[in-house]
């Protein structure tokens, strides 16, 4: 992955201007002002001053305008929106709801470009590789598009081709996003907790991985290994000799989309069984293998004969390690027992909590959350609503959760939605109960407790071994006056910047006053070369003072702060 940090870059000035223009168009000029973008892109001031937004756009909510804005800015920003829709710990619920509607559908690119990309990546003419190749794509998205084809040996395949020039566009947009995130950290005090630059880098890492089709191929192989010869779950075969970073060739799946209910019934497939098997497969991915499909929406789920399920598009996958699984178990046990302190401890353990957080208020909100769903029959519970309520508390108290947990929550809600679409009586919580019981039994088993105790003792052993040495080294540095303690101020950048500007203006004003006073003294002396009867140097000093004074006044007025 290539990361380049170029704050306020002028290399992408045209793209900056476009972003500012679109922000203003959708009534988000305050964002431009907050980020102080006009300082770095001069055209921003002219846009803010003269360009008016359409009346129809003003009527839309801010969240809806954000969706339209991201769609207009193109593929990278569409992906930003989709990424943020999986991070309810970072943005308010109303924004998450709207961002989930973002469509990753763009016009397809021409067959000439498809042919050039394939031949460049595979180093062979298409005629030598394929017996047939359908020039019309079966799907097109911001990353690439897919075509059906037939190999020389007769195998029917799907070829996924990356959009030409995508890497260059993404690199430029990531540069800009890092620049904007840097400005947010500098000018918006509240942004510090959310680490905007870190979030952009996290997004960039996810996007660059998704753009590498060999990663997707390896993900498919890993799922196939986790479910060997499984009768209810099938993973398409990858043709590695025809797969590269920008081209993925995989087995063609002749199935029915899980959302096509009519076709499922016509084919004699059982919707209730499909719903149950889908939930089983997902829970096994998470709780047994620790590797799960990150985007199981209906378009990525196909049903084959005998109610076998096949998942497509393995570009986004999530991982759950033993420690995360342990914390999930603790959280579930704490919610069941209404143990508020236990829930808070899990949040502290897995999340990033602001030191200014009001723990009393957090405990009150969590108590209300647990009581809201206490003793309610499982069939009346909706995982989507429960997850949304929990993440609303997390966002309100500015708790940051690891990305894999938010991705897991999104995938879980998607699977429940698919299950209920297939079977209105489908109960994801009831279906999850045996897995939860198994997790709790494993955690309470003597083998687990001994392992946990052994791990703790090992950590203490390491502490006892290193502590004396570290203490002696610290005391030695103190004796030799070599101990240095560094302090780093946070949240004062905006104040320092404002103070710096004020000081510069004051200094500039003093220079202007000095010019005026000096010129006045020269006028009184009536010596040196004259112009229209006045000393030239005095006249020249007044002129410079007037120009500088006018320039200072204009800048103060343009800043909006008199």
For the segment 317-337, the average pLDDT, to the nearest whole number, is 80
d(CA 185, CA 199) in angstroms, rounded, equals 12
Q: 105-177+210-252: CATH homologous superfamily? A: Phosphorylase Kinase; domain 1 (3.30.200.20)
Q: Reduced to 3 states, what is the DSSP secondary structure of residue 108?
A: coil
Task: Considering only residues 45 and 400, tell me which one the structure prediction assigns the higher pLDDT.
Answer: 400
pLDDT at 232 over 90: yes
| Distance from C-alpha of 226 to C-alpha of 240, rounded to nearest angstrom | 19
Q: Provide the mean pLDDT of the chain.
A: 80
pLDDT of amino acid 452 = 67
Q: Higher model confidence: residue 258 or residue 53?
A: 258
In this predicted structure, what is the pLDDT of residue 496? 63
- Active-site residue 295, yes or no? yes
3-state secondary structure of 25: helix
Position 129 scores a pLDDT of 94
Q: Greater confidence, 490 or 515?
A: 515
Of 410 and 336, the one with more pLDDT: 410
Ranking 152-166, 168-182, 321-335 by mean pLDDT, the lowest is 321-335
Average pLDDT over residues 461-471: 73
Residues 418, 122: Cα–Cα separation, whole Å: 38
Confidence (pLDDT) at 451: 67
CA distance 248 to 219: 12
Highest mean pLDDT among 379-383, 493-497, 542-546: 542-546
165, burial (CB in 10 Å: exposed 0-12, middle 13-18, buried 19+): exposed
Residue 498's pLDDT is what? 66
Query: Which alpha helices (DSSP H) does 228-382 contain, by range?
Result: 261-266, 271-284, 322-336, 340-350, 359-372
Which pLDDT score is estimated for 488?
Answer: 58
Half-sphere exposure of 215 (CA within 13 A, CB side): 12
Q: What is the DSSP string of 254-272?
A: --EETT-HHHHHHTT--HH
Residue 352, beta-bridge partner list: 400
Segment 197-218 mean pLDDT: 91
Predicted confidence at residue 44, as pLDDT, reads: 41
pLDDT per residue as tens digits for the range 249-304: 999 999 999 999 999 999 999 999 999 999 999 989 988 898 999 888 888 999 99
H/E stretch holding 464 reads: helix 446-479
Question: Which of 89, 173, 175, 295 is flagged as catalytic?
Answer: 295
Instruction: Summarize the confidence of residues 343-355 as an average pLDDT.
Output: 74
Position 3 scores a pLDDT of 43
More confident residue, 16 or 227: 227
Percent of the chain with pLDDT over 90: 26
H/E stretch holding 157: strand 156-162
| pLDDT for 21 beyond 70 | yes
User: How much is the CA Rg of the chain, to the nearest whole Å?
Assistant: 31
SS percent in the chain: helix, strand, coil, step 5: 65, 10, 25
Quick one: average pLDDT of 158-182?
90
Count other C-beta atoms under 10 Å from residue 488's C-beta: 4
pLDDT at 11: 59
What is the rounded average pLDDT of the residues 185-196? 74
Most confident of the following: 70-79, 99-108, 288-297, 322-331: 288-297
Residue 241 has pLDDT above 90, yes or no: yes
Q: What's residue 6's pLDDT?
A: 42
Mean pLDDT of 398-408: 82
DSSP assignment of 109-134 equals PPHHHHHHHHHHHHSS-HHHHEEEE-
pLDDT of residue 68: 86
Q: Residue 556: its pLDDT value, please?
A: 67
pLDDT tens per residue across span 495-519:
566 666 777 777 777 887 777 777 7
> To 10 degrees, what angle do helices 359-372 and 383-396 make?
170
**107: which DSSP letter?**
P
Is 90 exceeded by the pLDDT of residue 31? no
| Residue 340 banded pLDDT, cuts 50, 70, 90 | confident
Which pLDDT score, from 0 to 100, does residue 8 have?
44
User: Would you say 161 and 144 are in contact if contact means Cβ atoms under 8 Å apart?
Assistant: yes
């Amino acid at each position: 992955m290539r990361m380049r940090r170029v704050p306020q870059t002028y290399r992408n000035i045209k793209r900056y201007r476009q972003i500012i223009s679109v922000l203003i168009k959708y009534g988000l000029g305050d964002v431009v002002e907050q980020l102080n973008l006009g300082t770095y892109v001069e055209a921003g001031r002219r846009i803010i001053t003269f360009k008016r937004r359409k009346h129809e756009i003003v009527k839309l909510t801010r969240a809806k305008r954000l969706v339209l804005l991201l769609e207009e800015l193109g593929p990278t920003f569409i992906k930003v929106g989709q990424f943020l829709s999986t991070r309810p710990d970072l943005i308010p619920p109303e924004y998450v709801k709207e961002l989930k509607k973002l469509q990753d559908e763009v016009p397809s690119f021409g067959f000439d470009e498809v042919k050039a990309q394939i031949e460049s990546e595979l180093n062979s003419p298409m005629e030598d590789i394929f017996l047939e190749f359908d020039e019309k794509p079966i799907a097109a998205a911001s990353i690439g598009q897919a075509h059906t084809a037939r190999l020389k040996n007769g195998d029917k395949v799907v070829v996924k081709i990356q959009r030409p020039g995508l890497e260059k566009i993404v690199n430029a947009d990531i540069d800009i996003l890092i620049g904007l995130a840097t400005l947010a950290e500098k000018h918006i005090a509240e942004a510090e907790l959310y680490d905007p630059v870190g979030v952009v880098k996290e997004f960039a890492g996810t996007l660059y991985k998704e753009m590498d089709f060999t990663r997707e191929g390896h993900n498919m192989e890993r799922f196939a290994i986790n479910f060997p010869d499984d009768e209810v779950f099938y993973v398409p075969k990858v043709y590695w000799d025809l797969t590269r970073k920008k081209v993925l060739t995989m087995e063609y799946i002749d199935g029915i989309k899980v959302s096509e209910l009519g076709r499922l019934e016509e084919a004699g497939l059982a919707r209730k069984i499909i719903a149950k098997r889908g939930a089983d497969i997902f829970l096994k991915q998470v709780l047994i293998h620790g590797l799960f499909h990150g985007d199981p929406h209906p378009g990525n789920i196909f049903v084959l004969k005998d109610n076998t399920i096949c998942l497509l598009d393995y570009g986004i996958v999530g991982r759950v390690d033993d420690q995360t699984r342990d914390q999930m178990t603790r959280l579930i046990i704490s919610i069941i027992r209404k143990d508020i302190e236990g829930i808070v401890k899990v949040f502290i353990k897995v999340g990033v909590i602001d030191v200014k957080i009001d723990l009393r208020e957090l405990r009150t909100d969590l108590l209300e959350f647990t009581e809201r769903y206490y003793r309610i029959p499982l069939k009346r519970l909706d995982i989507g609503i429960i997850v949304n309520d929990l993440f609303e508390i997390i966002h309100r108290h500015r708790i940051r959760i690891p990305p894999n947990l938010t991705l897991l929550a999104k995938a879980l809600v998607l699977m429940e939605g698919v299950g209920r679409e297939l079977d209105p009586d489908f109960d994801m919580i009831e279906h999850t109960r045996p897995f939860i019981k198994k997790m709790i039994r494993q955690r309470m088993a003597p083998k687990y407790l001994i392992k946990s105790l052994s791990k703790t003792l090992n950590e203490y052993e390491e502490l006892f071994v290193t502590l004396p040495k570290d203490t002696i080294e610290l005391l030695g540095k103190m004796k030799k006056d070599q101990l240095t303690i560094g302090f780093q101020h946070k949240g004062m950048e905006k104040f320092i910047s404002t103070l710096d500007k004020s000081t510069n203006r004051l200094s500039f004003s003093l220079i202007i006053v000095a010019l005026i006073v000096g010129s006045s003294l020269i006028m009184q002396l009536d010596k040196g070369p004259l112009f229209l009867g006045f000393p030239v140097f005095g006249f020249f000093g007044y002129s410079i003072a007037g120009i500088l004074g006018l320039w200072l006044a204009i800048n103060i007025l343009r800043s909006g702060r008199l």
